[in-house]
Structure 1
Amino acid sequence: MIDPAAGSETRGGLLAVDGRIADLGPTLTAQNAPDGARVIDCAGDVLAPGLIDMQAFVGEPGAEHRETIASATLSAAAGGVTTLVATSATFPAVDDPAVVDFVLRRARDTGRVRVLPMAALTKGREGKEIAELGLLQQAGAVAFFDGARSVKNALVMRRAMSYARDFGALVVHFPQDPDLAGGVMNEGDFALRLGLAGVPREAEALMLDRDLRLVALTGARYHAAIVTTTLSLDALRAAKAAGLPVTCGVTINHLTLNENDIGDYRTFLKLRPPLRLEDERKALVAALAEGLIDVVVSDHDPQDVEMKRLPFAEAEFGAIGTQTMLAAGLRLVHSGDISLPKLLAAMSSRPAEILGLEQGHLQKGAPADLIRFDPDEPFVVDPEKLHSRCRNTPFDGALLQGAPKTTVVAGEIVYERAS
């Protein structure tokens, strides 16, 4: 049993009653389980809190051809994700309390795991006028995020931060200057050889630098959704050292892949922000191990075949990832770059702490959101066996380890892999 919040690893059993952890520890065994309890022999597998994916596209409303809450949550459950934090990048955007309510109701009706909506920071995600943050928060929005659209206007961003601060709300932002980031992959020699327009590292760093100065000005809680460069890491290290209320995330793709994996124009690896150099990837892994990077996300972004089976420059950005996030992350554990508790903390307890959730702990009274997996069990990623409505995985055909066997939400088994 691994409790990433405490950094502990122990052997023993766990008892869930009425959706919560009633007891756990080395003395709890099948022999002293309560009468009528279902006993699952984990046979030496890892038991850990369910993952919290802090950035995923769920399709509803308006993009059901790409994903639905039903398919997104099945994919999540199969990947060990028990809480999906849905982005506001829907059609219409989640910028009205009625849309927040719609997402919550659809999740209750069709979802297998918990779904928590983020609302738009600006109306229509257009970056021009602040959304009604207070009303959206009352309706159930857990944070405010315009998706992969940056708020260009510094005055609008300052007002949004000030408004969010007054409500104690979390501002999540995608730090990328849209004017400077007009390319389709990382700027450098490889992009030149492929004849593709590049995105410089500075496109991310300039926007992040601006945001951090606005955090210092307003005192708002701020989360950089995705960081990918050492320039950003340096800025965040300085901001945290100064005591600013800032956190940041990184995608599992940027931790485990680099620009060379694009190879011969593989459009499933066309991502926003783009995959970077290997040295940058290693720096991200080191920052995660250090604790500078707080959260690992899937950035689950389903795209149908028509949008990906195009020349690289014309193909849509994005990749699916909820079902493979844990297994891909275990690559870093097997390589010795990070410990298993540290990886799980970035995927469960730390997101829970940032969002103010009860999940992410293995302790008495905590929600019984659990996953069971064997971190050493190998499997080959077969896109046809993934549960998303789309198949644009960057790990197509990859040999990974550690696919979850059992996923539990509030004490109920929502996914059990066929043996």
Structure 2
Amino acid sequence: MTANSLAIRNVRVPGREGAFDLLVAEGVVRELTAHDPAASHDGHAVIDGREMLLMPALTDAHTHLREPGQEWKEDIASGLAAAAAGGFSNIMCMANTDPVNDTASVTRFMLRRAAESWPNGPRLFPIGALTVGLRGKELAPMGELLEAGCVAFSNDGEPVADTEIFRRALEYAADLAPVIDHCEDPYMAKGSGANEGAMSARLGLRGQPDAAEAIQAARDILLAEYLGVHVHLAHISCRKSVGLIADAKKRGVKVTAETCPHYLLMTDAALLGYDSLAKVNPPLRTDDDRLALVEALREGVIDILATDHAPHAAHEKETPFENAKNGISGLDTALAALWELVRQGRLSPEDIVTRFAWRPAEIFKLPVNRFAPGDPADFLLFDPEDSWVVTPEALRSKGKNTPLLGQPLTGRVALTAVGGVVVHDRIRPGRT
């Protein structure tokens, strides 16, 4: 029996009736069959699934793992451990490190650090810088970054203001890998952390209008349409952008888009009390925006979910609101928090599987498990009845900066496997 010969017995699978057994050997799915209580599964390590949900492990197309250069916030090992606890098998990390990931040497360093942490987390796929130093002035050596292991390119939180340079970047990347753009007009209250509206006025905060996002989304869509190339829009947060994306898709524009759990679950009301833990970029917006995003995700206008995991040290958040860093630490809690929308009937388990596992892997050409024989044995067990409280101690990430701190959640990842190797296990403590 090899270490990754597993039999996961008596589980439920979203979209299928009845109980199932999953057999795994040599890192791949052997078969998913109807549960047989009498089966012995000789040669496999047997795990009782206790009628929990069996789902493909998740792919996160937007994280910040901070290493190299900002290891006090997060390092690759701690970020991947948090990802394993959250049910992820594939993690794409942004280029805003120090130094910026704009050279092959930085890419290779990231991949080496990920290899050193195995088997304590999922696979790492770096996102290369779109421009040198993220300065928006000169294209990064994308061919070199692709060869070193990058799977996409982005200027992350520094949107390219020069449309001519962005056009050339889209053209050059078209034959290499997708471009991910942070949609924000760089001159309209950049990084303010609050939506411009009734709540920002009430709190006396500088706000950023939803138009700041929509203007940049419209530019990107028009360029993608003109050039006939693909563009991926990061962390969409408002109804205006949803409308633009929907219209573009009807015209056949090659645009894909993501949103994040916090935009589906929270509004700018979370800023009451000047709570810097809810300060994020783009900012949390109104309930109308939130509902538009939920509907767009269900309909496929928004293609995927991503965490935008942005860990910070405590002192970077425990400061006056306008001085606090933007970002929410989200890898540990993403699936558990989203399950509230499943309980409400606003999303289905199948929606979660499609938008957080299958579709992102398709867009970025990453390993994906559909439970067909030969698929990579990347899966999770989710207990929808496990109630727990979000505490700093419960989070594997170094970043404890989440507005969910102190809140109860119902639903938790019980086990995560990557290539048949168990990387997170709450069923049998001590294995990871």
Question: One fold, TM greater than 0.5?
Answer: yes
Deviation at 1:383, TM superposition (A): 1.9
Whole-angstrom CA distance in 1 between matches of 2:35 and 2:314: 52
Matched, 1:69 2:72: no
- Partner residue, 2:248: 239
Provide the secondary structure at the position in 2 that maps to 1:282: helix
Give matches, 1:262-277, under 5 Å.
262-277=271-286
- Partner residue, 1:187: 196
- Partner residue, 1:46: 53
Deviation digits for residues 176-200 of structure 1 (CA, Å, limit 9, x no counterpart): 0121133330001111110100000
Deviation at 1:28, TM superposition (A): 5.8
Match of 1:288 among 297, 302, 306: 297
Whole-angstrom CA distance in 2 between matches of 1:313 and 1:122: 28
Distance 1:350 1:9, change over 3 A: farther
Q: Is the 8 A contact 2:131 2:137 kept in 1?
A: yes
Matched, 1:325 2:334: yes
Q: Counterpart of 1:76 in structure 2: which amino acid?
A: A
- Partner residue, 1:177: 185
Q: Counterpart of 1:78 in structure 2: which amino acid?
A: A
Distance 1:46 1:88, change over 3 A: same
Match of 1:16 among 24, 35, 38: 24
Whole-angstrom CA distance in 2 between matches of 1:291 and 1:191: 31
Q: Is the 8 A contact 2:27 2:377 kept in 1?
A: yes
Deviation at 1:377, TM superposition (A): 2.2
Whole-angstrom CA distance in 2 between matches of 1:166 and 1:261: 42
Provide the secondary structure at the position in 2 that maps to 1:403: strand
Whole-angstrom CA distance in 2 between matches of 1:76 and 1:238: 34
Deviation at 1:300, TM superposition (A): 0.6
- Partner residue, 2:420: 411
Q: Counterpart of 2:315 in structure 1: which amino acid?
A: E
Give matches, 1:70-219, under 5 Å.
70-111=77-118, 112-167=121-176, 169-182=177-190, 183-219=192-228
Q: Is the 8 A contact 1:3 1:362 kept in 2?
A: no
Whole-angstrom CA distance in 2 between matches of 1:292 and 1:67: 32
Distance 1:289 1:314, change over 3 A: same
Deviation digits for residues 330-386 of structure 1 (CA, Å, limit 9, x no counterpart): 011011101111112111001011011231422111100110011132211112221
Q: Counterpart of 2:26 in structure 1: which amino acid?
A: D
Deviation digits for residues 13-68 of structure 1 (CA, Å, limit 9, x no counterpart): 111111110111215667241x2310001010001110111111112111111101
Q: Is the 8 A contact 2:203 2:272 kept in 1?
A: no
Provide the secondary structure at the position in 1 that maps to 2:384: coil
Deviation digits for residues 209-234 of structure 1 (CA, Å, limit 9, x no counterpart): 11111101222211101111111011
- Partner residue, 1:300: 309
Deviation at 1:174, TM superposition (A): 0.4
* Moved beyond 3 Å, runs of 4+: 1-4, 7-10, 27-30
Matched, 1:258 2:273: no
Deviation digits for residues 291-321 of structure 1 (CA, Å, limit 9, x no counterpart): 1111111111011111101011111101100
Provide the secondary structure at the position in 2 that maps to 1:15: strand
- Partner residue, 1:380: 389
- Partner residue, 1:56: 63
Whole-angstrom CA distance in 2 between matches of 1:102 and 1:411: 26
Distance 1:110 1:194, change over 3 A: same
Structure 2: runs of 5 or more not aligned: 1-10
Deviation at 1:2, TM superposition (A): 6.7
Whole-angstrom CA distance in 2 between matches of 1:184 and 1:336: 30
Return the TM-score normalized by structure 2.
0.93
Deviation at 1:394, TM superposition (A): 1.7
- Partner residue, 2:4: none
Whole-angstrom CA distance in 2 between matches of 1:148 and 1:133: 18
Share of identical aligned residues, percent?
Answer: 38
Matched, 1:359 2:368: yes
Whole-angstrom CA distance in 1 between matches of 2:414 and 2:92: 22
Q: Is the 8 A contact 1:51 1:360 kept in 2?
A: no
Whole-angstrom CA distance in 1 between matches of 2:251 and 2:49: 45
Q: Counterpart of 2:178 in structure 1: which amino acid?
A: L
Provide the secondary structure at the position in 2 that maps to 1:362: coil
- Partner residue, 1:222: 231
Deviation digits for residues 157-178 of structure 1 (CA, Å, limit 9, x no counterpart): 00000001133x2010000012
Whole-angstrom CA distance in 2 between matches of 1:386 and 1:279: 31
Provide the secondary structure at the position in 2 that maps to 1:393: coil
Deviation digits for residues 132-170 of structure 1 (CA, Å, limit 9, x no counterpart): 111211111110011111111000000000001133x20
Provide the secondary structure at the position in 1 that maps to 2:48: coil
Provide the secondary structure at the position in 2 that maps to 1:358: coil
Provide the secondary structure at the position in 1 that maps to 2:45: coil
Whole-angstrom CA distance in 1 between matches of 2:347 and 2:168: 39
Deviation at 1:97, TM superposition (A): 1.1
Root-mean-square deviation (CA, aligned residues, Å) is 1.5
